[in-house]
Structure 1
Amino acid sequence: MYIALPNQPDWPALIKSGSRVFLGSNAGVPNGLIDDLIKDSHGLHDIEIVHTLTLSDSRWVEPEYSELFKVNTLFIGSDKIRRAVAEGRADYTPCFLSEVHSLFEQDILPLDAALIMISPPDQYGYCSLGVAVDVTLSAVRKAKRVIAQINPLMPRTSGHSFIHVSELDACIERQQALPVLPDYEPDKKTERIGQYVSMLVEDGATIQLGVGKIPNAVLRYLHNHKDLGVHSELITDGVIDLIAKGVINNRNKTFHPGKTVTSFCLGSQRLYDFVHNNPHVEFYPSSYVNSPVNIARNHNMVAINSALEVDLTGQVVADSIGYQFYSGIGGQVDFIRGAALSPGGKPIIALPSTAKQGTISRIVPTITPGSGVVTSRGHVHYVVTEFGVASLKGRSIRERALELIRVAHPKFRAELLEKVREHYWVPHYQKDYPREVPELSPINVKTLRVEGQNYDLRPLNPADERRLQEFFYSHTKETLYLRYNHIPTQMTREKSCGLVSVDQSRDLALCIVKQYGSVSEIQAVGRYYLSNDGQSCEVAFVTRESNRGKGMAKQLLSEMANIAKQRGVKMMQAYVRADNKTMLRIFENASFVREPTEEPGEVMLRLSLESQ
């Protein structure tokens, strides 16, 4: 069947001076059309170019074309456009990606033309927007003129990606290689961020990721997960191997089950080949994919986004560095909000703790003047850096500050605590700040499997003040008597603060925690206190009654012994009531030996670490 194509563009007949023109997005920028327009633009002036992220040489924003084009970008994607915005030669219009379509549909930004790149038509005349459906389809539906570059290298993608040649007012046929992103190899810092984020992703979850080192690191640590789904504004190369391995099968998705859903893709030629005629990957407009309502229809939705800085109340800066606009709002708020509304969902902000070779903290007491809040303090549930996971949902300002200081770089933590006192109330007894414990494990957390459930074994820290208080009040009188040799009736916030504010480089305080979404519940606590000579330590532990006999105390004791030995401690000792048969048995099973003591009713036990 022969498909007749429209004529080549007669630019003066299609576009007038002062027209507003949409330019195709992401990897679908029609550079051939722009070149053709520039060549035949005689007499045209002040054409407003509207676009989102564009992977291109961005020729249209160069000063020599300032009389021809006026640029209005909805997302700053390159240094050239960033510089033009800073110099006032281009404008930046902030907008949620899910709402860009409304700017066109409601004639807030009425479009005289849309310049797009598409695949060649099939036998029925249908062309595909390929790797960049995003907001382009919305622009096509509202523009008075649709002018296309037919590119034989553009993949044909499934979903709502098609337009018919009859919808085109003009076209050119020009081959154009799709832009290829560099391979983002994670460094040690992003590797740790990827590990921490992967621990928040449960089997059967649906995920959203961006592009760059951190998303790549996350994907690398999801290879042992099961039955993951994808609902994401974009996909990258990292999903290919996970799909091939069966890790991503979309089986448990509650919205578009069985399908990977996206609106555009960015990556290598391998990715573009992967999505070509692939019925398992469906592309839809951003108005659909980024709708928080649609995102929330995926149960256990995990949204993973990045930021430039986060203040100690949880406000997220993502589009600007001071007064300089850097990128855009994009889809961050769409997915953070959608994940928060999802049953079992987790909105996550992941970022390195520092910038500029470690000289600047990205966790800041207050937002840098001029910077704008993209994601509010009420949106984010988790903030992840290479130093851990800060859980913010339901936390007070003081608790948020402590959580975020805990995941800041250690060299900035003392300063952050002092700075937060200048603006927010912090009690006089809050003197300590979280310190790093690199000896515990490469990522400071171990996952325990106890009777079919996962628990985290990690250091106790100042942000656990309220959790430790709740743990204390969960104990029976018998437990309190056996642990403290009397029955204490009160655990004040001040006393709890003192118990969690531990110099972990000297003493040690570990806990086993059950995480229910944003809820953390301490199940067991173990600690040791180092003697003045540094040769021995005194150890003690207590377990929540409902988890007695499950081996938690044994694992705590084993971990403490390993850390003590690594630190050069030679002897561990414990003092236990003679009638506390259960605790005595735990120590003796761990090779502790009873020693004589002058205290009646008390047993001293010792373990030589030199012989271990």
Structure 2
Amino acid sequence: PLEELAHPVALTRLDRLVSVTQAFAVDLTGQVCADSESGELYGGVASQSIMHWAAAHSLGGRAVVCLSTLAPDGRSRIRPALTEQEAVTIPRSDVHYVVTEYGTAYLYGRSLRERAVALIELAHPSVRADLLMEAIERGLVPPGQQLRSRGAYPREEERAVELRDGRTVLVRPARTGDAAILQDLFYRMPPEDVYTRFFRHLTSLPLSTAEHMTSVSFEDEVTLLAVEGDWGSERVVGTVSYYRDPTSGRADVAFMVDPAWKGVGLGTVLRDVVVDVARRRGVVALTADVLAENTAMLRLFRTSGLDLEAHTSHGVTELVLRL
């Protein structure tokens, strides 16, 4: 009977329950309209919200909302706000995963600012600038919010890697919304590692600075994160970034590795991945200024097997790794 089949509590007893809801519109706070389009009810009153809620509360379950970025009339389905004709089928507090042809966002437990940024990155590139302006005007994100991604999330660059101690990490491209978990990595770094990374004695990493590192075009700017854990509980344990000079074709590169993950080959993994990514994007050399006492970084470059130039002056070694 429908009363049993669509009973939310009964459905939650099914482990690994997956619900996929097709949406017609999602606003920048995460509210979902899934039962009407252009003011017309689609399919009547259904049980999408019940199935979605049950999957979200099922052990190992997944509650997914999917939608195309543009409607047939060319309007964006990701909008600053739902219209009066678009009822809320799934409230923002119950939304977990949102998927479009440009990527996936995890919204559960996120702030309004984090939700807006993540959803704008899922929108069609032609409307992202307008959505960002609307989000600023509505107070969802602060003025000066950075959002430099221009295309689809480059999922093809994701790779799972097993380290020497048997642990596995996912090396993946950064998203703008990763700024907070990058900050977490920074605050786990000892002062000496912070100094060798930034050449300054920093005691904090402002959100704007973290976003500058995670909000990249993945063209001349690339940031890769090594993460452990599932979506919603990801933890950054290492990162590598480069910024290419379009004139010379060289790119300045920098690494950070969680002290608890040193000595297991994570730095080597990040080096090899960034070399591969940089080569395919036309980078001719990776460059870095490394303090003489940063022996781990010097060794990382010297063991690459690539042509390396090194010049030391006043305690700083200038490295050029030719690709």
TM over 0.5: yes
In structure 2, relative to structure 1, the CA distance for the partners of 1:562 and 1:594 (3 Å cut) is closer
Aligned 8 A contact 1:591 1:607 in 2: no
Which of the residues 19, 36, 50 maps onto 1:320? Answer: 36
- Aligned match of 1:421: 136
Aligned partner (choices 289, 294, 298) of residue 5 of structure 2 = 289
- Residue 594 of structure 1 deviates from its aligned partner by 4.6
Does residue 1:350 correspond to 2:86, yes or no?
A: no
Residue 498 (str. 1) matches residue 212 (str. 2): yes
1:398 to 113, 118, 140: 113
Gaps of 5+ in 2: none
**1:13-412 aligned within 5 A:** 285-356=1-72, 359-412=74-127
Three-state SS of the structure 1 residue aligned to 2:3 is helix
Residue of structure 2 equivalent to 1:464 = 178
Give the direction of change, closer, same or farther, for the CA distance of 1:436–1:453 in structure 2 (3 Å limit).
Answer: farther
CA pair 500-569 structure 1, distance change in 2 beyond 3 A? same
Query: Take 1:586 and 1:437, find their aligned partners in 2: how far apart are those partners?
Result: 31
For the aligned residues, what is the CA RMSD? Answer: 2.3
Change (3 A) 1:482 1:557: same
Matched letter for residue 8 of structure 2: P
The 8 Å contact of residues 336 and 347 in structure 1, kept in 2 or not, is answered as yes
**Residue of structure 1 aligned with 2:160, choices 438, 447, 453:** 447
Task: Tell me which residue corresponds to 1:607.
Answer: 321
Question: Would the alpha carbon gap of residues 367 and 452 (structure 1) be closer, same or farther in structure 2, given more than 3 Å must change?
Answer: farther
User: Offset of 1:432 from its aligned partner?
Assistant: 2.7
**Alpha-carbon shift at residue 579 of structure 1 (Å):** 2.0
**Local SS of the residue matching 2:239:** strand
SS at match of 1:597: strand
Aligned amino acid, residue 230 of structure 2:
Y
The number of equivalent residue pairs is 322
C-alpha distance in structure 1 between counterparts of 2:149 and 2:2, whole Å: 41
**Equivalent pair of 2:102/2:152 in contact (CA under 8 Å):** no
CA gap 1:552/1:514 in 2 versus in 1, 3 angstroms: same
Matched residue, 1:509? 223
CA distance, structure 2, for counterparts of residue 381 and residue 515 of structure 1: 16
Contact 1:321 1:368 (8 Å CA) reproduced = no
Query: Matched residues in 1 for 2:64 and 2:159: separation?
Result: 20
| Distance in structure 2 (CA, Å) of the matches to 1:522 and 1:376 | 29
| C-alpha distance after superposition, 1:485-536 (max 9, x if no partner) | 3331111223223332323222111112223342222121111111241421
- Partners of 1:351 and 1:448 lie apart in 2 by 31
Q: CA deviation at 1:447?
A: 3.3
The AA in structure 1 aligned to 2:187 is: Y
Whole-angstrom distance in 2 between the partners of 1:354 and 1:447: 32
Point out the more displaced range, 332-341 or 310-319.
332-341
Q: Does 1:543 align with 2:289?
A: no
- Displacement of 1:429: 2.8
Could you say what secondary structure the match of 1:401 adopts?
Answer: helix
Amino acid of the residue matched to residue 407 of structure 1? L
SS of equivalent residue, structure 1 residue 516: coil
Letter in 1 for 2:87: G
Deviation at 1:598, TM superposition (A): 4.7
TM-score, with normalisation over the residues of structure 1?
A: 0.49
Q: Please tell me whether residue 554 in structure 1 is matched to residue 268 in structure 2.
A: yes
Q: 1:596 to 1:581 in 2, by over 3 A?
A: closer
Are residues 470 and 502 of structure 1, via their aligned partners in 2, closer, same or farther at CA, if it must alter by over 3 Å?
A: same
Counterpart in the other structure of 1:522: 236
Unaligned residue ranges in structure 1 (runs of 5+): 1-284
Distance (whole Å) between structure 2 residues aligned to residue 467 and residue 419 of structure 1: 26
Q: Using the alignment, how far apart are the partners of 1:554 and 1:598 within structure 2?
A: 23
1:425 and 1:437 map into 2 onto residues whose CA distance is: 23
Instruction: State whether residues 405 and 434 of structure 1, in contact with CA within 8 Å, keep that contact through their aligned partners in structure 2.
Output: no
The 1:475–1:536 alpha-carbon spacing in structure 2 relative to 1, beyond 3 Å, is same
Residues 25 and 34, structure 2, Cα contact 8 Å, conserved in 1: yes
1:596: Cα distance to partner?
4.0
Q: Secondary structure of 1:510's partner?
A: strand
Q: 1:408 to 1:550 in 2, by over 3 A?
A: farther
| AA of the residue aligned to 2:254 | A
Query: 1:322 touches 1:368 (CA, 8 Å); kept in 2?
Result: no
Equivalent residue in structure 1 for 2:188, among 454, 467, 474: 474
Q: Do 2:213 and 2:241's aligned partners in 1 also have CA atoms closer than 8 Å?
A: no
- Is contact 1:553-1:586 (8 Å) kept? yes
Q: SS where residue 348 of structure 1 aligns?
A: strand
Question: Contact 2:28–2:79 (CA<8 Å) still a contact in 1?
Answer: yes
Q: 1:373 to 1:556 in 2, by over 3 A?
A: same
8 Å Cα contact 1:414/1:433 also seen in 2: no
2: CA distance, partners of 1:518 / 1:385: 18
* Pairwise CA distance, 1:333: 1.1
Cα distance change on mapping 1:554 and 1:462 into 2, 3 Å? same
Question: Could you tell me which residue of structure 2 aligns to residue 266 of structure 1?
Answer: none
Matched residue type, 1:395: R
Could you say what secondary structure the match of 2:205 adopts?
A: coil
